[in-house]
Amino acid sequence: MDQIIDHASNAPTPFAAALVDIHDGTIVTTASNTVHDGDPTAHAEINALRQAAADGHDLTQCLLVTTAECCPMCAAAVGWTHISGVAYGTSIPTLACLGIPQYPLRLREVLTAPVTAAPIEAGLRRAACDQLFTRWAAATLPPRRLGLPMTFGAGRTDGFRAVTPYLTATDSRALIAFYQEAFKARQLSLETNDGMVTHAEVLIGDSVLQIHDELEGLRGESPATLGGISVTFSLYTDHLDSVCQRALAAGAVVHTPPTDAPGWGCRFAWITDPGGHGWTLISRLHEPVRTLPKQPAHILGAESASVKPIGADRPLQGRSQADDIRPSTPPASTQP
């Protein structure tokens, strides 16, 4: 890979590929992306395969090494050669993040049976390859295509915030039903494949939540699979007690019942939904004081370890009944 990186460093683009003999490790051929010469199919991988084939090499006895993950066109070509394997540095998601246009189809999705199931090594000298593409993108692509927009939320779909949570659930339909009952949510969309929810959107107040089932190939695991949670949602409402009661009736577990925290200027409750996701329900009492007196534990909402969470005796979707998590103070989001 070091020789390929050196080759790419001196080429018009960092897209470079080489074919290596699997028996003696010698480089059969090295090629660059030459689409700038007028052939839109002249990607580095295609050029390397064409050159090696023209020179009479047996491609089935070669390993393809590239600075970047193959696009679907190159991946299909590689598959038809029945090559011994592929190793690459920079991934398609990284290229897309840098603003380099990419099809979302990954190499592993193309190199499958019955055509070929060639082994793939991802991330070979990834840091060095990523640096190549980062420098090239910064020097070549328009600034507007690099990284995040200068104003967060620019280009988002109407109705979405700059940051939109995407939940993974063991049963998205049941979770949506809970949100509809407890939080008066409105279902905006629901997409399925073979009965599984691949994407859904619900509107709670003025905020959209996206949800999908645990599916192979989609990132994210449900709290049930993780055995816990790392994120808690804050839901602001003027009717905290009634919302908490509806949530309990719909299947939530209430860990901290509605509690006044005068020092924080709020009343709050802490629950987990049937999918195991955490929610802090908050309503404002007044402007919080800037210098907080030390509060007794019961004012801040802490509970004795012997207190059983309300609703914890019902069967839960995606949460162990023994997993009793309670905050010792109100959520950070309510602090001044």
Q: Other CB atoms closer than 10 Å to residue 302's CB: what's the count?
A: 18
Close Cβ partners of 139 (under 8 Å, ≥ 6 residues apart): none
Q: Which of 45, 69, 214, 303 is catalytic?
A: 45
Confirm whether 45 is a catalytic residue.
yes
Return the closest-CA partner of residue 324 out of 335, 313, 336.
313
Q: Which two tokens stand for residue 240?
A: 């905290």
Q: For 62, how many CA atoms within 13 A lie in the half-sphere containing its CB?
A: 25
Please state, in angstroms and rounded to a whole number, the distance separating the CA atoms of residues 2 and 33.
18
Residues 6+ apart with CB under 8 A from 66: 4, 15, 16, 17, 18, 44, 45, 86, 87, 88, 89
DSSP 81-120: HT-SEEEEEE-HHHHHHTT----S--HHHHS-TTT----E
The kind and range of the H/E element at 8 are helix 2-9
Alpha-carbon radius of gyration of the chain:
27
CA dihedral 23, 29, 35, 39 (to 10 degrees): -90
Q: Which residue do the tokens 């103070």 mark?
A: 329
Q: How far is CA 250 from the centre of its chain?
A: 29
Catalytic (active-site) positions: 45
